[in-house]
Every structure is written in structure tokens, then in C-alpha cells.
Amino acid sequence: MRLFFRSDLPLAGDASGRFLPWIIGCMVYLAALALAAALAADNLAARWHADLAGRFTVEVPPAPASSDKDAKLRGITDLLAKTEGVTAVRLIGAADKASLLRPWLGGGDLPEDIVLPDLIVVQSATAIDMAKLSKELTAFDAAIRIDDHGRWHGDLLAFSNSMKILAFIVLSLVALAAISTVIFVTRTGLAIHRRVIEIVHLVGAQDSYIARQFLFHALRLGLAGGAAGAALAAGTWIALQHWLGTGGSGLLPSLSLSTGDWIAVAAVPVALSIVGMFTAQVTVLILLGREP
């Protein structure tokens, strides 16, 4: 085992390899942030989908008189409760409506001359015939509107897919850049140590042994730079989470990641180092005239 890891080439002192950890660190930083953003967007879309699944909202314009309003709301809620497939009906109270508007209007009270429409949240276990329900609701008020959140579902799906595609593009570009950089550093190292390699060959060393030394050299440099880049990306993401959490605005989404997501982000520098490791090995074997 000691012979396996022994190095007869002074690769650690190569000027060509000194910038490799910095490049790998920068690429890992960008790749980790891109992956974290894609995972957070997927989690956000999943949470919103779970909240909106099987749920729609009925918006009732305000009635001119409180008695008419109460009677109309009772009739509407009774109709909704009796609709086939509906499992729950909840009228949004004044405090809940104020809470919904707080991110846009702040914590102050609304002017008295502003009257908000009434909102009824309906939960259904099966698909509802919205056209039929809307026609029945017009008997109470022709201005009643049903929001089935279909546009939200479409926007969330498009947003999540866009983030996944963007993350895939960034990861692919980072991998290609890492491979190109490792190839350049390996070719330079072979050129610098050509005489030493020839001497090692004369004493019986095989190409595989020389390739193995470049392999572990690339792995060490990749892990060093990748660990720094991943740590910086994690710090950036945690700081961004903290800023969003304490910003006081309910309009900003949560960027929380699960334990599995953090493991996936932590795997980025390891995966990139492994790619660089085998790239160095294949490059050496090809340049020394042996098929990988």
C-alpha cells in the first residue's frame, strides 16, 4: 500500500498546478449554488403544490348591507358544503385577510372606506365541475369569482423545471471546464517532468504507475479546492437564508434545504475531484502511448 501511494515525481512543486485548486474552488462554488437553488426551487414548488392541491378559492364581492352579506355568505357556504367532492369549507376572517395583505401593505390598519371582498377556501377530494359550480354561484352574485389556482400550478412547474435545466447547464459547464483544466495541468506536468519520467521508465516503472501519481495529485488538488468552494457556497447559502428569514417580507420564498439536499451539495466537490482524477489518469496514459 505504501508503494502504491509513493510518488517519485515532484508534482507538488509544479507551478502549473498551483492555480488548479483556485479554479476548482470557483467552479465548485458556482456549481454548488446552482444545485442548491434548483433543489430549493423544487422543494418550494412541492410545498406550494401540496398547499394548493385540491383547493380553490371563492371570491365574494362585498354586499352593501351587513344583513345581506351574512345571508349571502351563509347561502354560498351551504352550497359549497353540499357540492359533491367538497370536504371542507372555510370563510377567511378579517384577521386572516389582514395577515394576507401585511406583506404588501405593512402592519397598519386599512382605511375605513376600503372594503375587502370575502374569501372562502374550499378543499375538495375529487375534481369539481367548476363551470356548473360557477353557474350556481351566480344566483347569489354575478360578480362571484372562482380561482382554482391552475395558473399558479403552471407557473410553479415552469419555474421548477427552469431551475433544474439551469442547474444542469451550470453543472455540465463546470464539469467540462474542470476536465479541460485538468488536461492542461496534466500535459504541462508531463512536459515539465519528461526527463524524470524517462528515468523512472528506465528503472522499470510502468505507465500505469506514473498515471497513478498524476491521478492522486489531481485528486488532492481537486479536494482541496473543492472543499473550500463548497464551504464558501454553504456559507453564502446560509447567509442568504438568514437574510430572507429576517427580512420581514412575506413575499420572499424560503430557501430551506433538507438533509438529503445538503448531502447532494456536499457531493459536488467530491464528484468533481473524481472526474478530475480519472481525467488526469486517462490523459497520462494516452500521452504516454497506452490505451486507457
Per-residue pLDDT at 292: 42
- Cα three-residue angle 222-224-236, rounded to 5 degrees: 105
C-alpha cell at 129: 365541475
Residue 65 reports pLDDT greater than 60: no
Select the more confidently predicted residue: 122 or 250.
122
Per-residue pLDDT at 4: 41
Count CB-CB contacts under 10 A for residue 124: 19
**Residue with grid cell 352550497, as numbered in its chain:** 79
Per-residue pLDDT at 173: 92
Average pLDDT (27-46) is 89
Residue 291 reports pLDDT greater than 50: no
Question: Full-prediction pTM beyond 0.85?
Answer: no
Question: In terms of C-beta density within 10 A (0-12 exposed, 13-18 middle, 19 or more buried), how is residue 132 classed?
Answer: exposed
Average pLDDT (96-101) is 68
